[in-house]
A and B are shown apart, each in its own frame.
Chain A
Amino acid sequence: MIQITFTINGFTDALHLADDHGLSDVEIEAMKQARYDKWDDFVKNPPAVVDEPVEE
């Protein structure tokens, strides 16, 4: 596994990729941005809380 730590707008996360991932730099940058966008949207637009029943 390759770990790529990145920071976008103060949000720090990491991608973990297979050693032979074969991704281009552009694709990796897109993955970073997608991670940030997902987090940013979740924080700014938190989903309505509809808890699933707890499974025993």
Chain B
Amino acid sequence: MKVSRDEVKYIAKLSNLEFSQNEMDKLIKEFESILEHFVNLEEENLDGYEMYSFDEKSLRTRTDEVVNFDNRDKLFSNVKKMRDNCIEIPKVVD
């Protein structure tokens, strides 16, 4: 199961990760080895099976009422940069 470098670069872009040349080489080899194993899924007989069965109970919902979080002071205590009660990041250009 061959994987192209371009494909891996594209996946890295989607994942917002970056790899050095060496890491990329290693990753490609590992991918190929793993995907090799996944061939058994391709060969499995799945006739008569569907992705969803919808045989469980319907999704449970909640009532439409305002319930305020009881620890709002600490909600943003893990943010590294705050300003005017907002989270600060470098300017994002559309």
Task: Say whether A and B bind each other.
Answer: no
Q: Which residues of A contact B (CB under 8 A)?
A: none
